[in-house]
Structure 1
Amino acid sequence: MDSDGPVPLPARGSLASGVPVSAPGTLFALSVAGGIAVGPREGRCVVFGRNRPEVHVCIGEDDQRVSRQHGTLTCRGGHWWVSNTGRLPVRLPGSRLLFGDDQALPLDTGYTPVFVRGSHGREHLLELYVAGADGRRPPSRHAYVTQPPREWRLSPAERLALVALGQRYLFHELHPQPLSWRQVADQLAALRPEEGWTAKRVEHTVVAVRSRLARDGVSGLTREEVGEPVGNMLNHNLISELLLSTTLVPPDLALLDDNEDGASCGLPTPR
C-alpha cells in the first residue's frame, strides 16, 4: 500500500496474522464492523466508537455501554497514540486500563488488541497494527521449533513452599489470592513436621525467590515498583510469573498430598 490516505478495510479476517506490505508507520484499525488503514501524517486522527456515521472505525454499535466516540488514535511525533474519550476504560495488553482522564499511550509497532467492555459481560475488540520500519509483516515460522518458556530453577523447599502459597491459583479458583505465611506454615508443619516449617521460614524462602527473579529482570516483585500499600501484590505477581513460565503447574499440587506412604511428597518428575 503506497498511499497514506485512508483506505477502508473489510469486516473480516484479523490483523493478528499481519498486514500487507505498507509504508512504515501505517496504522491499521479493524473491528467486526470493518476498519481503516492510514499513513502516518502528523496530526492525523482516527476516531473509534459506537456511532457509525461519526467515527472512522465502528465498535460495539449495538451496545449502549460503548460510547458514541470512545477513543482516538492520533499521529504525533512520528508515533501513533491511543486516547480514551469514552465513559468506560479500554483495556490494552498486560491488563493495562486506559481511562478517559489518562494521558495518551504510544502504540508499539506490530499488533495491539484493545478491548472495550460492554453490557452483559461482552467485550468488544479493536485490533490495531502499526507497520514497522521496513513496512513488512513478520515472516511465517510454521516449521520452526517451538521456543519453550523460561522455567525458573527452584530448590525442593522453595517449590514446596510456593506450591502451598499459590495453591488457590493451581486449583483454578475464580479470584485466587496467595495464602498467608501462617496458613502455609501450618499446612507444611502438619504435612512435614520433621522439616521445621514456621511462618518466618516460609517468608524467608519466598522472599529469596522474589529477590532472585527481580534481579533477573522480572517486574513487579519489589516494594519500590508496586508501592504502598503492598498487600498481597508482590506474592500475586510472583505466583503469576511462576505460572506463566510453567515453573509451577497444577500437577505440582501432588506435593501437598498427605498419603500414608509419603510417596506423593517427593518431587515431581523434572520437566
Structure 2
Amino acid sequence: MVQGSVGAIDRSWAEPLPPAVGSLARGGWSTTSGTLVAKSVDGGITVGPKPGRSVLFGRNVDEVHVCIGADDRRVSRRHGELRCDGERWWLHNLGRAPIRLPERRLFPAEEPLPLADGYTPVFLPGSREHLLEVYVVGLAGDRRAADHARATIAPSTWPLSADEKLALVVLGQHYLLHEPNPQPLTWRQAAEQIGELQPPASQWSAKRVEHLVGRVRARLSRGGVPGLTREEVAGPVGNALNHNLLTELVRSTTLVPPDLRRLETPG
C-alpha cells in the first residue's frame, strides 16, 4: 500500500488516458507485454510493467491515480490498488466494501487476486455500481484472436440505432454487469425501465421493445450469426433467442460495460 500525503502520489511514470477514449473491452492500445491500462468514466492511465509499481483507485482524486465514484461517499477514498510484481498485475482491496469481478468478489483484507491478460471489468459498490475497466497486454501484444469457426466474417461491431442500443442495453444489463448465468429482462420490464429513462413512458410499450430487438436479431441472422431464429433453436425457445443475441453483442463489443451509464436516470 502506498502511504503518505497527497504529494506522495507520483504520476510521472504513467501516461494519462482521457475520458473520451473508448471502452477497453475493444483493446488496450499497446503492444508492450505487461502494460496495464485502467480507466473509469473520468479517465485513466497507461502504465508499463515494473516490480513494485502501484496504481491506486478510489473517489479522492488527489490520493489516487484513477478517480472513480468521486460523487459517491460509499466508495472509499483509496478503494483499491493494482500492483505489479514484475511478471503480472495483482488486484488489492484497500476499501471497506467488496470489489466485484466477473467470477467472484474480493473482500477487504483478503489476499490479492492476479489479473488475467486481456480485459477485466471491475465493479465498485456504492449508491450504484461504478465501473473500473482494466486491460493487461499479454505476451502476444494487443491483438484480437482469429476466429476460424465462422462461415461468415462478421464486423468487429454491429451497427445499432440509438433506440435499438438503448433497448438492448436495458434488456441485457445483466450481461454487461458480468453477472453469473445472466438472463434478459422481460419485454415488460425493459419497457418500464426505458420509459423511466426516456419519457414519456407511453411511447415505450413491451411490443415496441420486442419489435426493435426482433429487427436487430433478423439483421444479425442475415449477417451470419447463428441461433437467432426459432428454426435454429431446439426445444422450447424461451429466452434463447435474446440470450444468443446479447451474447453476440457483448462478444463483438457492440455492447460494452460502459454502456451501463445509459441506465442512470437523468437529473
In 1: Cα distance, 2:234 partner to 2:112 partner: 34
1:124-173 C-alpha deviation (Å, 9 max, x unpaired) = 00000000112223158795369xxxxxxxxxxxxxxxxxxxxxx9997x
Equivalent of residue 27 in structure 2, options 6, 18, 25: 18
Matched position secondary structure for 1:65: coil
In 2: Cα distance, 1:108 partner to 1:22 partner: 16
Number of residue pairs aligned between Structure 1 and Structure 2: 152
Give structure 1 stretches of 5+ with no counterpart.
147-168, 173-244, 253-271
- The alignment status of 1:105 with 2:93, answered yes or no, reads no
Give the direction of change, closer, same or farther, for the CA distance of 1:250–1:131 in structure 2 (3 Å limit): same
1:147-202 C-alpha deviation (Å, 9 max, x unpaired) = xxxxxxxxxxxxxxxxxxxxxx9997xxxxxxxxxxxxxxxxxxxxxxxxxxxxxx
Counterparts in 2 of 1:134-153, with a 5 A limit? 134-138=140-144, 144=153
TM-score normalised by structure 1 residue count: 0.51
1:231-257 C-alpha deviation (Å, 9 max, x unpaired) = xxxxxxxxxxxxxx99875279xxxxx
Q: Where does structure 1 differ by over 4 angstroms across 4 or more consecutive aligned residues?
A: 139-143, 169-172, 245-249
Sequence identity percentage: 53
Equivalent of residue 88 in structure 1, options 84, 87, 97: 97
In 2: Cα distance, 1:246 partner to 1:73 partner: 45
- The alignment status of 1:30 with 2:39, answered yes or no, reads yes
Give the direction of change, closer, same or farther, for the CA distance of 1:35–1:145 in structure 2 (3 Å limit): closer
In 2: Cα distance, 1:246 partner to 1:111 partner: 33
1:124 corresponds in structure 2 to 130
1:66 corresponds in structure 2 to 75
RCO (CA 8 Å, sep 6+): is it higher in 1 or 2?
2
Q: Is the 8 A contact 1:11 1:35 kept in 2?
A: yes
Matched position secondary structure for 2:62: helix
In 2: Cα distance, 1:53 partner to 1:91 partner: 24
1:8 corresponds in structure 2 to 16
Higher Cα Rg, which structure = 1
Q: Is the 8 A contact 1:71 1:82 kept in 2?
A: yes
Q: Report the AA paired with residue 135 of structure 1.
A: G
Give structure 2 stretches of 5+ with no counterpart.
1-11, 156-182, 187-232, 241-267
